[in-house]
Chains A and B, each alone.
Chain A
């Protein structure tokens, strides 16, 4: 492990220890937060009893569906829009302002349209994630070195062949970045949507436990969610760095 990694781990442990101490001594009262060690045991009980399995599966399916939709539509739209500069100029203000406007205000409308099912959750997750994939695809295609296009012309490749064999592979580092951000945004939107209005799911269970003053369930599930998100984000971050390094060397 690198030095920075060890320091990071030590910091996290120290932070957990301080929290534990503050909770145990009553500096933070139990109604506000339960000690981290209890969060772990609470999570263990939940997982062992399997009482949240259906919710975990629900959230996982929704998130995966949202990510797949976001990445595929974002990528396809990116390739198409890149080929049509006129359309791109028109859409440009929308793309730059997309994450600046609270798209989330749309979720209630989606519920009105689709009802309280998984569909509005997946749609808002996909809507939230796809634009980061789209912009990354655009930026990636913009930055293909001109020499590669020249190579494509030299080999007499048609536009489609040049796209598939040369331009897209050259874009991969940007696509990975887009994928990472699409995953992050989709997860945020899915969980937030479940938190606001949903028949089940992790977000729903956390909100329910909060309204029920059930701190053990709430903190146990929060721990699960945050750990899962952290692992996925760090993994994607790691892959991204590796790919960028490899491409930079070539």
Chain B
């Protein structure tokens, strides 16, 4: 544990040093120094304005994550139940995942208009495919003997899904949820950058336009820390899942 704390401290020091070097080379008008940025960030966190935008982003992110996770799980589990349906859907999901969805943004805007629904839709578009892909693969890689057991107990489809498929595929599903959540953060944020008057993504774009470098970096830092912590929590959960599922 102590070893890990030291490693983490070393990583932080390394990143800060890198940041300092970049800011020295690029000049403080392009990249502010770490110390100045941290002071600015501490001030930013005390403003009411920041938390209003953060709350708007949080609300959109929560909505988008719930929709992406439930939708992705339903899609992955249903398609995974049938060998043929899985074969048909797998490359399609992969392609949807790999398309630069940012270019589809105009379509989303034309359909949903500016505002909350557009950014939620954009978050869902990013998050749903990783969740579905991992759930699908999780279900497809289940040992056939589990399915035979379910059949010999003559379980219905619904109870097979709930009592056999879901627990057996859980480690993979949790991995998918983690990746999906990260993608949803990115999607929601990009959504706010283009079409919103609220949220951290909007603040980010505004500070860029006004050339407020310290604010841009503070926001990026806040988002990194938030996403990093969320990822670490989900990763810890995932590791526990994989350990308990191993035997």
Contact = CB atoms under 8 A, between A and B. Distances in A.
Interface of A: 2-4, 7-8, 11, 31-33, 89-94, 96-97, 99-102, 104-106, 108-109, 112-113, 184, 187-188, 191-192, 195-196, 203, 206-207, 210, 218, 222, 225-226, 229-230, 233-234, 237
Nearest to A230: B95
A82 B119 CA distance: 40
A31 B84 CA distance: 38
Contact of B182 (A89, A92, A100): A100
B84 A4 contact: yes
Nearest to A31: B110
A7 B98 contact: no
Chain B: number of interface residues, binned into ranges: 35 or more
Interface of B: 7-8, 10-11, 14-15, 22, 26, 30-31, 84, 87-88, 91-92, 94-95, 97-107, 109-111, 178-179, 181-182, 185-186, 189-190, 193, 204, 208, 213, 216-217, 219-220, 223-224, 227-228, 230-232, 235
Interface centre among A33, A90, A230 (most CB of B within 10 A): A90
A90 B216 contact: no
26 contacts: A4-B88, A89-B7, A90-B14, A91-B11, A99-B179, A100-B178, A100-B230, A101-B223, A102-B186, A102-B189, A108-B204, A109-B217, A109-B220, A112-B26, A112-B31, A113-B26, A113-B31, A184-B97, A184-B98, A188-B101, A188-B102, A191-B103, A192-B103, A195-B100, A222-B104, A225-B100
A233 B94 contact: yes
Contact of B232 (A93, A109, A226): A93
Contacts of B230: 100
B84 A101 contact: no
B30 to A, nearest CB: 4
Q: Main secondary structure on chain A at its contact with chain B?
A: helix
Contact of B235 (A96, A104, A187): A96
Contacts of B11: 90-91, 93-94
Contacts of A106: 220
A187 B179 CA distance: 19
A112 B102 contact: no
B3 to A, nearest CB: 8
